[in-house]
Structure 1
Amino acid sequence: MNDSNTLASISDGRLYDLKDFVKADAGGCQGCSACCCGVGELVKLTPFDTYEMTRGLGAAFDDLLVDHLELRTFDKITLPYLKMIGSDERCSFLSEEGRCTIHAYRPNICRLFPLGRVYEEKDFKYFLQVDACVKPNLKRVKVEQWIGIEDYEKNKAFLSAWHNCLKALAFRFKFVRDADELKAANDYLLETFYRIAVKEGEDFYAAFFEALDGAKDRLGIIV
């Protein structure tokens, strides 16, 4: 998100860094799962999100596409999103008791909520989405603690690179009119980044940046 008018309309007007305190802590949610329903179009998954899910669940990416994820296309780019199910459009990973069954390896956007990111070239900061959480009187918490992500600097470098990759790809696809060419490019995107092969002794981030180097020429983008 980069539009200053949009940001001002949904935030408290501040941008937060990792060490800042922000009123975002819902105190364990106490059985509330309002933010886990009807958000299918919002929870766009990154390659790291799906990698963590497959590792945590011991399932392949294609297995998750059967019941828990779905492919959606925006700006001609096809990516996986969380699947919503039932009349209340609840997250497919939500238990009958309204608890997240993948909390330890939930998507990054779920970790952030009610925070969001605003990107600034190769950096980003956080903002608080006012009134996004239905719980009253959210408590102050340090951004770093709230996100709770391991290898934060590596994760941040990945998120910035992936954001720029998608932005470049959206621009590139504006000029692609051939349906077969688009399908081939999107199939390559899913195969390369969402079915990513991480070698023994290698971490996800090293595998991602190696794949990104090879994908630039194949997809015709500059990141």
Structure 2
Amino acid sequence: MKRNVTMEEISDGRFYEVNDMVKAGCAGCGGCCQGMGQSIVLSPLDIFRIISNLKVDFESLINDKIELNVVDGIILPNIKMDGVGEKCHFLDNENKCTIHGFRPDICRLFPLGRYYEDRSFKYFLQINECQNAHPLKVKVKKWLDEPELKKYEDLVGQWHFFLTDVEEMLNTKNNDSLRRQVSLYILQKFYLESYSFEDDFFSQFEKRFDEAKKQLLL
């Protein structure tokens, strides 16, 4: 999801790599898990982790915890906010995350963000976003808490620029029927079509990713 802001407005003015130290912390207040609208967009990895840990399928999540919306012209799933205070559906009565161990990428990243450029990205620290900041110096890679960091970062970059390329292609074609077909294809290919819980996710994603690029002529 693109944001129409400048880096000066939202960051401390620095870019970070995974081995850099950054001031970040979490008091567990749940403030960043409420009132987020449709902004917690879910990647295929996010969905895989949620359904494999909760032992549910994508369709059952759609009826309860997540919803579909158009993001930069493409239909994608996001965490559903509802009720008093527009809370994330995965928060419990004490404002604690019930899926913290396999939380989505955007949640895992916060209060960091990513700046994408030249088919790569760097991290930045968002300011004035956390309502109850308790910052401590921590390495970016420790904050991300990803056991397969290289594969994870490769997937993040691939997925972002794939969606960007699709968006540019659809804007160039300017065909509403094609846009619907492509959106449904991406939804089916990367979200609805079942993954094996026994096999490595990244290998499964890579195969689908290559097939999708060929299918969409990217």
TM-score range, shorter chain: over 0.9
Q: 1:100 to 1:170 in 2, by over 3 A?
A: same
- Are residues 1:14 and 2:14 paired? yes
Residues 66/200 of structure 1: CA separation in 2 closer, same or farther (3 Å cut): closer
Structure 1 length normalisation: TM-score? Answer: 0.90
Most deviating of 42-51 and 187-196? 187-196
| Aligned residue type for 1:219 | L
Deviations 1:141-171 (A, max 9, x none): 1111111012110011111110110000111
Q: Does 1:109 align with 2:145?
A: no
Q: Is residue 178 of structure 2 the alignment partner of residue 181 of structure 1? A: yes
Q: What is the deviation of 1:5?
A: 6.7
Rate the CA distance shift 1:87–1:2 in 2: closer, same or farther, 3 A: closer
Contact 2:69 2:78 in 1 (8 A): yes
* Residues 56-67 of structure 1 aligned to structure 2 (within 5 Å): 56-67=53-64
Where does residue 153 of structure 1 map in the other structure? 150
Give 2:180's aligned amino acid.
K
1:202 aligns with 2:199: yes
Counterpart in the other structure of 1:143: 140
- 2:50 is aligned with what amino acid? M
SS state of the match for residue 87, structure 1? Answer: coil
Structural mapping, 1:1-223, within 5 Å? 6-26=6-26, 29-30=27-28, 32-199=29-196, 202-220=199-217, 222=218
In 1, Cα distance between equivalents of 2:94 and 2:8? 35
CA distance in 2, matches of 1:136, 1:151: 28
- Counterpart-to-counterpart distance in 1, 2:72 and 2:141: 32
Identity %: 37
2:160 aligned partner, one-letter code: H
The amino acid of 2:112's aligned partner reads L
SS state at 1:67 partner: coil
What code does the residue aligned with 1:169 have? V
Q: Distance in 1 between matches of 2:73 and 2:5?
A: 26
Structure 2 regions of 5+ residues with no counterpart? none
Residue identity matched to 1:120:
E
Note if contact 2:22-2:138 (Cα within 8 Å) is conserved in structure 1.
yes
How many residue pairs are counted as aligned between the two chains?
A: 218
Amino acid at match of 2:92: S
| Structure 1 stretches of at least 4 aligned residues deviating more than 4 Å after TM superposition | 1-5
- In 1, Cα distance between equivalents of 2:100 and 2:134: 23
Q: Give the CA deviation at 1:4.
A: 11
Structure 1 residues 156 and 136: CA distance shift in structure 2, 3 A: closer
Following superposition, the deviation at residue 116 of structure 1 comes to: 0.4
Tell me the TM-score normalized by structure 2. 0.92
**Separation in 1, partners of 2:48, 2:24:** 26
Query: Offset at 1:179?
Result: 3.7
Q: Is the 8 A contact 1:93 1:101 kept in 2?
A: yes
1:133 match: secondary structure: coil
The letter for the 1-side match of 2:72 is D
